[in-house]
C-alpha cells in the first residue's frame, strides 16, 4: 500500500512527469532512427535535395539530379544538409532534423499547456501529441511537416506570451512565422491568418497599435518574401510554373470532378488515425464550443488553431493527413482538456496517469532494448542494387530501366547511388537495342519481366537480384570490388 501511494505521488510530481516525458519522447522519435531506409516519396526526394546543397555549395537554389528544383522552400533541406555535415551522409542524418523538431514540439506543447492550464494538463497534452500516430510517424520521416508544426507551435506560444504582458515576444512570433514559410511556403502563412482572426474575434484591437506586432509581421513577410524574390530573380518563369502554378495552385483545384463528400476526407482520416484520442478531442471541442472554459481567449485560440487548416484545406483538391500536422499540437491541447474533464474524479485521474507511466516505461524498454523496429523497411530492393549502380555508374556505365516511373524509382536510386536510371522503357525490345551497344549498360528490371527478357534478349547477365528487382547488364561485370557496406548501405 505504501509503495502504491508513493508511486501515485510520483506520477503527479511535475519533475517526475518531465523526466518521464523526456525519456519516452526521446525513445519514440530517436530509437533505431537510422534503420530501414527512407521512403521513396517524399523522404528520398528531400534528402537528395539536401545532399546536393552540400555537393553544389548552393544554399539559395535547391537542386535535384544536378538541375535547379523550385518545388520546395529550403529550410528543411538546409537542416538536413547541416545534419549530413555533422553525422555524415546516412539515413539517420536525413531523418534527424524532423525527429528533433518533433521532440522539441512536444515540449513546446508542454510549456504552452502549463501556461494556459496546469502542469497535469500540460503533461497529458504532450503525451497525447507524442503518441498521435501521424505525428510520431512523420517525425521519423525526412519530411517537412513536423518541422513546420514546430515553427507554428513556436509562433502560437510566442503569441500567448506577447499577449500576457511582454509584447517583445511578437518578434519571436514573426520570426517563427517567417521560418514556417521558409519551411513549407504557403502552408507557413496559416499562423498569420489564425493570429489576425484571433485578435479580431477577441477584440484585441490595441495589439494593432503595437510597434512590436508590426515588426513581427514585417519579419515574417521579409523572410518569406526574400526567399520568393531570390527564386524568381534566378529562376524566373521556371519558379512560377513549378512552385506557384504546379505546387501551390495545383493543390487548390484541377479539372477532375469529385463527389461532394470527398471534402470530408480529413475528418475521415482523423477518425482512422487519431485513435485512441479522438473521443477526447471531440469532447474537448464540444466543451470549448459550449463555452465551459471561462478563459475566452484560450478557447478561441485553440478552436482557431485546431480547425482553420482543416476547414481551409478541406476545400482544396489535394488532401493528405500530413497537411494537418501544424494543427495537431493544438488538437493535443484540446484532447487533454477534454480528457482531463471527462475523468473528473481525482482518484480516476491518478489511475490514468499510472497507466500512462506503466505503458510508457514498458515502451521505453521495449523499443530501446528489444530487436523491434519502429519503422517498416523502405525501398529495400533499391537499396540493395544501389551500391552496384553507384560503382558501375561512377565508371561511366549507362543506367536504364524497364517499366518504371521516373520518380517512383529514381528518388531512392539517386539518393542511394548518385545516379538515375534514364531513359525508362516500356518494351523489352528497346532494352535489346540498348544492350546491343559496345558500352556497358545496366538495366533495372522486375523479376516478373525475366521470362520476356530471356525470350527477347539473347545475351544478358545478372548483376544483382534484390527482392522484386533485378539489375542486369549487357556485359559480364566484375562485382568483387563493389562496396555494399557502411554509410547509406549499412542496414
Q: Residue 6: is its pLDDT beyond 60? A: no
User: How many Å apart are CA 16 and CA 362, to the nearest integer?
Assistant: 16
pLDDT at 61: 96
Q: What is the pLDDT of residues 205-245, one digit of tens each?
A: 999 999 999 999 999 999 999 999 999 999 999 999 999 99
User: How many Å apart are CA 180 and CA 236, to the nearest integer?
Assistant: 23
pLDDT at 487: 66
pLDDT at 175: 98
User: How many Å apart are CA 224 and CA 380, to the nearest integer?
Assistant: 37
pLDDT at 4: 54
Q: Tell me what percent of the residues of the chain surpass a pLDDT of 70.
A: 97
pLDDT at 254: 67
pLDDT at 78: 98
Q: What is the pLDDT of residues 134-183, one digit of tens each?
A: 999 999 999 999 999 999 999 999 999 999 989 999 999 999 999 999 99
pLDDT at 126: 97
Q: How confident is the model at residue 10 (pLDDT cuts 50, 70, 90)?
A: confident
Q: What is the pLDDT of residues 83-117, one digit of tens each?
A: 999 999 999 999 999 999 999 999 999 999 999 99
Q: Residue 35: is its pLDDT beyond 60? A: yes
pLDDT at 13: 83
C-alpha torsion sign, points 227, 233, 234, 235: positive
User: How many Å apart are CA 251 and CA 239, to the nearest integer?
Assistant: 16
pLDDT at 5: 55
pLDDT at 288: 96
Q: How confident is the model at residue 373 (pLDDT cuts 50, 70, 90)?
A: confident
Q: Residue 455: is its pLDDT beyond 80? A: yes
Region 32-57 average pLDDT: 94
How high does pLDDT run on average in the chain? 93
Q: What is the pLDDT of residues 403-425, one digit of tens each?
A: 999 999 999 999 999 999 999 99
pLDDT at 412: 95
pLDDT at 346: 83
Q: How confident is the model at residue 257 (pLDDT cuts 50, 70, 90)?
A: confident
User: How many Å apart are CA 491 and CA 489, to the nearest integer?
Assistant: 6
Q: What is the pLDDT of residues 281-339, one digit of tens each?
A: 999 999 999 999 999 999 999 999 999 999 999 888 888 999 999 999 999 999 999 99
Q: Residue 7: is its pLDDT beyond 80? A: no
Q: Residue 62: is its pLDDT beyond 70? A: yes
130 grid coordinates: 507524442
pLDDT at 379: 92
Q: Residue 490: is its pLDDT beyond 90? A: no
Q: Tell me what percent of the residues of the chain surpass a pLDDT of 90.
A: 83
Q: Residue 351: is its pLDDT beyond 60? A: yes
pTM (global) more than 0.85:
yes
Amino acid at each position: 500500500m505504501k509503495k502504491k501511494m508513493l508511486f501515485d505521488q510520483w506520477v503527479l510530481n511535475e519533475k517526475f512527469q518531465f523526466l518521464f516525458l523526456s525519456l519516452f519522447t526521446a525513445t519514440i522519435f530517436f530509437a533505431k532512427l537510422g534503420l530501414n531506409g527512407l521512403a521513396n516519396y517524399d523522404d528520398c526526394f528531400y534528402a537528395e535535395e539536401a545532399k546536393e546543397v552540400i555537393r553544389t555549395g548552393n544554399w539559395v537554389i535547391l537542386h535535384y539530379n544536378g538541375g535547379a528544383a523550385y518545388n520546395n522552400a529550403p529550410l528543411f533541406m538546409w537542416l538536413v544538409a547541416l545534419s549530413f555535415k555533422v553525422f555524415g551522409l546516412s539515413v539517420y542524418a536525413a531523418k534527424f532534423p524532423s525527429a528533433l523538431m518533433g521532440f522539441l514540439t512536444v515540449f513546446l506543447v508542454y510549456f504552452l499547456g502549463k501556461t494556459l492550464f496546469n502542469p497535469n494538463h500540460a503533461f497529458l497534452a504532450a503525451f497525447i501529441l507524442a503518441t498521435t500516430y501521424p505525428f510520431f510517424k512523420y517525425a521519423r520521416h525526412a519530411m517537412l511537416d513536423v518541422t513546420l508544426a514546430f515553427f507554428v507551435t513556436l509562433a502560437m506560444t510566442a503569441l500567448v506570451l506577447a499577449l500576457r504582458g511582454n509584447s517583445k515576444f511578437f518578434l519571436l512570433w514573426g520570426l517563427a512565422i517567417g521560418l514556417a514559410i521558409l519551411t513549407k511556403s504557403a502552408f507557413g502563412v496559416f499562423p498569420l491568418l489564425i493570429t489576425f482572426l484571433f485578435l479580431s474575434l477577441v477584440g484585441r484591437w490595441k495589439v494593432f497599435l503595437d510597434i512590436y506586432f508590426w515588426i513581427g509581421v514585417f519579419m515574417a513577410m521579409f523572410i518569406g518574401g526574400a526567399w520568393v524574390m531570390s527564386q524568381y530573380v534566378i529562376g524566373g518563369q521556371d519558379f512560377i510554373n513549378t512552385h506557384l502554378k504546379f505546387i501551390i495552385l495545383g493543390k487548390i483545384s484541377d479539372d477532375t470532378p469529385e463527389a461532394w463528400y470527398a471534402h470530408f476526407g480529413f475528418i475521415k482520416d482523423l477518425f482512422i488515425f487519431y485513435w485512441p484520442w479522438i473521443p477526447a478531442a471531440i469532447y474537448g471541442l464540444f466543451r470549448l464550443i459550449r463555452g465551459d472554459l471561462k478563459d475566452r481567449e484560450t478557447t478561441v485560440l485553440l478552436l482557431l488553431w485546431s480547425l482553420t487548416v482543416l476547414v481551409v484545406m478541406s476545400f482544396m483538391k489535394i488532401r493528405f493527413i500530413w497537411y494537418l500536422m501544424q494543427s495537431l499540437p493544438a488538437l493535443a491541447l484540446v484532447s487533454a482538456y477534454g480528457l482531463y474533464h471527462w475523468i473528473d474524479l481525482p482518484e480516476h485521474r491518478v489511475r490514468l496517469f499510472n497507466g500512462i507511466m506503466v505503458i510508457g516505461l514498458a515502451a521505453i524498454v521495449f523499443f530501446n532494448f528489444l530487436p523491434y523496429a519502429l519503422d517498416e523497411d523502405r525501398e529495400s530492393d533499391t537499396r540493395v542494387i544501389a551500391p552496384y549502380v553507384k560503382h558501375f555508374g561512377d565508371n561511366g556505365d549507362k543506367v536504364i530501366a524497364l517499366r518504371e516511373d521516373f520518380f517512383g524509382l529514381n528518388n531512392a536510386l539517386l539518393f542511394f547511388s548518385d545516379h538515375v536510371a534514364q531513359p525508362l522503357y516500356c518494351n523489352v525490345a528497346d532494352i535489346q537495342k540498348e544492350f546491343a551497344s559496345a558500352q556497358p549498360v545496366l538495366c533495372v528490371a522486375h523479376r516478373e519481366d525475366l521470362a520476356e527478357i530471356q525470350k527477347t534478349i539473347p545475351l544478358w547477365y545478372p548483376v544483382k537480384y534484390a527482392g522484386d528487382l533485378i539489375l542486369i547488364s549487357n556485359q559480364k561485370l566484375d562485382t568483387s570490388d563493389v562496396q555494399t557496406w557502411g554509410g547509406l548501405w549499412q542496414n
